[in-house]
Amino acid sequence: AQSVTQLGSHVSVSEGALVLLRCNYSSSVPPYLFWYVQYPNQGLQLLLKYTTGATLVKGINGFEAEFKKSETSFHLTKPSAHMSDAAEYFCAVSDRTYNTDKLIFGTGTRLQVFP
């Protein structure tokens, strides 16, 4: 069965610094991978997704992620953090078996941005 591991439940960076949020996955089939962001008291919003093709995926708000099959990783990065990036971030993998289709989530990483 597919699974996702997010290393680091909390990450703190200074405004303007590089953001790196780690995600490793386990999948028995070619994975579809997703990053979501959740702002306080809100639902989840899609940041970006990898399905097939180019392994570097660009998303909203300046975020990007690189699919590395050899490392089973899909880490999320942003070159320069902004205060508005403070939120919780979730990595997810698509688990498809027979005719069912569901997302398996990691435990999340809370990003703090200091001025």
Partner 1 sequence: DVKVTQSSRYLVKRTGEKVFLECVQDMDHENMFWYRQDPGLGLRLIYFSYDVKMKEKGDIPEGYSVSREKKERFSLILESASTNQTSMYLCASSSYPRNEAFFGQGTRLTVV
| Nearest to partner 1 of 41, 70 (CB atom) | 41
Q: Which amino acid is at 24?
A: N
Q: Given 3-state DSSP classes, what are the helix, strand and coil percentages for the chain, each rounded to the nearest 5? A: 10, 55, 35
Site for partner 1 in 83-102 (CB under 8 A): 90, 94, 96, 99-102
Which member of 12, 45, 61, 84 binds partner 1 (CB under 8 A)? 45
Count of CB atoms situated within 10 Å of the CB of 46: 12
| Nearest to partner 1 of 13, 92 (CB atom) | 92
17 lies in the site for partner 1, by CB under 8 A: no
32 lies in the site for partner 1, by CB under 8 A: yes
Q: What's the CA gap between 20 and 2, in Å, rounded? A: 23
28 lies in the site for partner 1, by CB under 8 A: no
Which member of 3, 9, 12, 14 binds partner 1 (CB under 8 A)? 9
Tokens (6 digits) for 27? 């999948």
Q: What's the CA gap between 94 and 91, in Å, rounded? A: 10
| Nearest to partner 1 of 51, 55 (CB atom) | 51
Q: CA 1 → CA 56, 66, 73, distances in Å?
A: 25, 22, 16
What residues line the site for partner 1 (CB under 8 A)? 6, 9, 32, 34, 36, 41-46, 49, 51, 90, 94, 96, 99-108
